[in-house]
Amino acid sequence: MELRLGSAIALALLAALSVPGAGAGSLRPDPGGRRIVTLGRSVEGRPITAVEIGDLDSRQRVLIVGCVHGNETAGIAIANRLARAAPPRELDLWIVSDVNPDGVAAGTRGNADRVDLNRNFPWHWRALNGLFYSGQHPLSEPESRIAYGLIRRLDPTVSIWFHQHLDLVDESGGSLAVERRFASLTGLRLARLAHEPGSAVGWTNHRDPSGTAFVVELPAGQLSVGAVARFAHAVVSVSANAGQNARER
């Protein structure tokens, strides 16, 4: 069943439903009006959560993933800043700071099963070994299934996945206008990387050509406070204006 989230009723339904590969989510508002959704757990049982802020009835839904590779953690600071910021108007913002908590805990690219989660999605999946081990089959990992299920339910207009360490915005196959604007706002160069098999962004753009998903490769190391603020501002700015941009490939 596909869900169009945005209303309190739909949010309650999401909380009650099981995300594929995860337990039933839990929803709890905090005093600031933010909603925290428990999406499921990692291989080693660590919780994976999303924070929702903004206009909960908006059809302009945006997904931010701060970290998918456990040794590329700079995006977590951007996600956390967005989660604490004033809720944006006319925008339903979903923030997953870390989809690979086991990898972050171990300092490894892959999850606890050594799987590169960004090679574990269905679109053009193929068997890979070594550092880019893609798992036994598409969506073999609970973390991938959690992200897959959330994307299907949200149907986001914009999805941004933070990686490291190439210092660029990837032309990921979605809206070139959105990618170009994000690069301009952050001072990163825009470049086209190889489209890897089984990537989250590749599957998202294939699934919904009307939306756009792209990769932001942050520089190596931790970001300064000013850089975190700049990237967080860029996320809100491009997301709020995404519908006004023609889709360029």
**Digitized pLDDT (tens) for each residue of the chain, 249 residues in all:** 223 333 332 333 333 333 333 333 445 555 455 799 999 999 999 999 999 999 888 889 999 999 999 999 999 999 999 999 988 888 999 999 999 999 999 999 999 999 999 999 999 999 999 999 999 999 999 999 999 999 999 999 999 999 999 999 999 998 999 999 999 999 999 999 999 999 999 999 999 988 999 999 999 999 999 999 999 999 999 998 875 544 444
Look at residue 54 and give its three-state secondary structure: strand
- How many other C-beta atoms are found inside a 10 Å radius of the C-beta of residue 146? 25
What pTM did the predictor assign? 0.86
Q: Which of 217, 244, 212, 229 is nearest to 80 (CA)?
A: 229
Residue-wise burial string across 166-186, b where 16 or more C-beta atoms lie within 10 A, e elsewhere: bebbbbbbbbbbbbbbbbebb
Q: Which domains does the chain have, with CATH numbers?
A: 8-244 (3.40.630.10)
Residue 120 amino acid letter: N
Residue 145 in tokens: 């299934």
The helix (H) or strand (E) run that includes residue 14 is helix 8-16
Look at residue 213 and give its three-state secondary structure: strand
Q: Which of 188, 158, 200 is nearest to 175 (CA)?
A: 158
| Tokens 């490894």 found at | 108
**What is the structure's pLDDT at 33?**
59
What pairing do the DSSP bridges indicate for beta strands 189-191 and 158-170? parallel
